[in-house]
Structure 1
Amino acid sequence: MSKPLGIMLVDDQPERAEMVSRQLRAAGYRLLVQLTSAEGLLQHVDSHRPDIVLIDIESPDRDILDSLSIINRQNPTPVAMFSARGGSDFIGRAVEAGVSAYMAEGMSAERVTPAIEIAMAQFRNFQQLRQSLERTRKQLQERKTIERAKGLLMAKKGLDEEAAHRTLRNIAMNSNSTMLAVAEQIINHLQSQP
């Protein structure tokens, strides 16, 4: 059986926060910490490691978005934000900062569970896209390195492209190494030659 999700609740209205925290516990979530402001949000996320952060602050500001951006880069965590402050400009900045789900009305007991589910699903999708993009970047960089090594072999050793590729592949196979590692070695070796 999996451990229930750990939640950090940031709500500047104590009565609403208490109602929501009761609802969270009744729904089987673990309330890790309940904050009345976003002050020190980075440190709280770092020390409590919540599965999701729920934020409902009357007037969210740039400081909150800056903190969320840093969290998104350093310790990606799903965030659901509830705010009466709608405007597409603010919502766009919130999403860029890493907010997984944005509800343009305040938090309520009946809306919190669907918001958590939406934020978790959006966060998973975004992380999968991020990982896919990172794999693609890495593959592209590896390909560039191999092409660069082939180009150096062609220029310095007078090989055609096919022979340069075959040389890289053979060295990799014979040395039980990857083509990338061989390409990097060849680049370092041939660039140091006059």
Structure 2
Amino acid sequence: MSAPARRILDELRRARALIVHPRDEEGVSLLDQLRRLGCEVSLAWPPPATLPPEIDTLFIQLDDAEVAHLLPSIEEQEPAVIAIVAYESPTSLKAIVDFNAHGVLAKPLRPRGVLTQFALARYRRGYEGRLTSKINKLEDTMKGRRTVEKAVRLLTELNGLDEDAAYKLLRDRATATRAPMTSVAEGLVTAHEAMSGLGLHISLAERR
């Protein structure tokens, strides 16, 4: 076995999975297959009220099953979701989209293909998480930049400074207090808004 393949299997073995499926031959067979792989897995039927907090992977039957109540906990915990469907009806397709499934298993369930969808779903969930993290960091950066720009604008309007001088004032204040410039800018903007709410004005340049 190659090193990349071994890493994929090792990653699957670290999964904490839940199977939401009737305790029939297919459900038990899937449970046994995942246990033989070595990951921590349990089977729940009828569907639980919420997901157990430790779950990071969910195999869930969507056909003719009352599972919509699990959507809030799925959205909160963000596990990798592998949908199990018996047929490609409009209802099933909508459920796959609603549950943001990262993989799909078609019934009747067979051992072949399970590991592929398992690995693919966890990869997609990981990629989705990394992408979300990058987006959040970008949004924070843009928010901080807008706050700095607002603070610079206040300094120029209230203290007669040009933009370069206002920016240097913020930067020097951040250096002196060992704080991020965005924090200093946010503090100045908040102080100005609080004073303005009282009908007062503040000379921000004097806050050095």
Which band: TM-score by shorter chain?
0.7 to 0.9
> Which residue identity lines up with residue 28 of structure 1 in the other structure?
G
Residue 125 of structure 1, CA deviation: 0.8
Bigger Rg, structure 1 or 2: 2
Structure 2 vs 1, CA of residues 57 and 130 (structure 1 numbering), >3 Å: closer, same or farther?
A: same
- Which residue of the partner structure matches residue 5 of structure 1? 15
Root mean square deviation, CA, Å: 2.3
Residue 37 of structure 1, CA deviation: 2.9
Between the aligned partners of 1:90 and 1:159, the Cα distance in structure 2 is 62
Structure 2 vs 1, CA of residues 83 and 188 (structure 1 numbering), >3 Å: closer, same or farther?
A: same
Residues 65 and 94 in structure 1, CA contact (< 8 A), matched pair in contact too: no
Between the aligned partners of 1:108 and 1:171, the Cα distance in structure 2 is 65
Task: Spell out the pairing of 1:25-104 with structure 2 (5 A cutoff).
Answer: 25-31=35-41, 33-40=42-49, 42=50, 44-46=51-53, 49-60=54-65, 64-68=67-71, 70-87=72-89, 90-91=92-93, 93-104=95-106
Residues 105 and 114 in structure 2, CA contact (< 8 A), matched pair in contact too: no
Residues 10 and 36 in structure 1, CA contact (< 8 A), matched pair in contact too: yes
Structure 2 vs 1, CA of residues 110 and 94 (structure 1 numbering), >3 Å: closer, same or farther?
A: same
What whole-Å deviation, never above 9, does each CA across 1:120-163 have from its counterpart, x for those lacking one?
Answer: 01100110111111111111111111111111111111112111
What whole-Å deviation, never above 9, does each CA across 1:65-99 have from its counterpart, x for those lacking one?
Answer: 4523x234321111101102424675355334332
What whole-Å deviation, never above 9, does each CA across 1:14-68 have from its counterpart, x for those lacking one?
Answer: 111111122122222222x21123242x1x422xx1231111343245xx24523
Structure 2 vs 1, CA of residues 127 and 65 (structure 1 numbering), >3 Å: closer, same or farther?
A: farther
> Which residue identity lines up with residue 138 of structure 1 in the other structure?
D
Between the aligned partners of 2:14 and 2:176, the Cα distance in structure 1 is 51
Structure of greater relative contact order (alpha carbons < 8 Å, 6+ residues apart): 1
Q: Secondary structure at the match of 1:59?
A: coil
Between the aligned partners of 1:54 and 1:35, the Cα distance in structure 2 is 10
Residues 66 and 97 in structure 1, CA contact (< 8 A), matched pair in contact too: no
TM-score normalised by length of structure 1: 0.83
Between the aligned partners of 1:159 and 1:103, the Cα distance in structure 2 is 64
Residues 23 and 43 in structure 2, CA contact (< 8 A), matched pair in contact too: no
Between the aligned partners of 2:108 and 2:81, the Cα distance in structure 1 is 15
Structure 2 vs 1, CA of residues 6 and 115 (structure 1 numbering), >3 Å: closer, same or farther?
A: same
- Which residue of the partner structure matches residue 184 of structure 2? 182
Between the aligned partners of 2:115 and 2:190, the Cα distance in structure 1 is 56
Between the aligned partners of 2:60 and 2:99, the Cα distance in structure 1 is 13
- Which residue of the partner structure matches residue 4 of structure 2? none
- Which residue of the partner structure matches residue 29 of structure 2? 19
Note the residue ranges of structure 2 that are not aligned, 5 or more in a row. Answer: 1-9, 202-208
> Which residue identity lines up with residue 140 of structure 2 in the other structure?
K
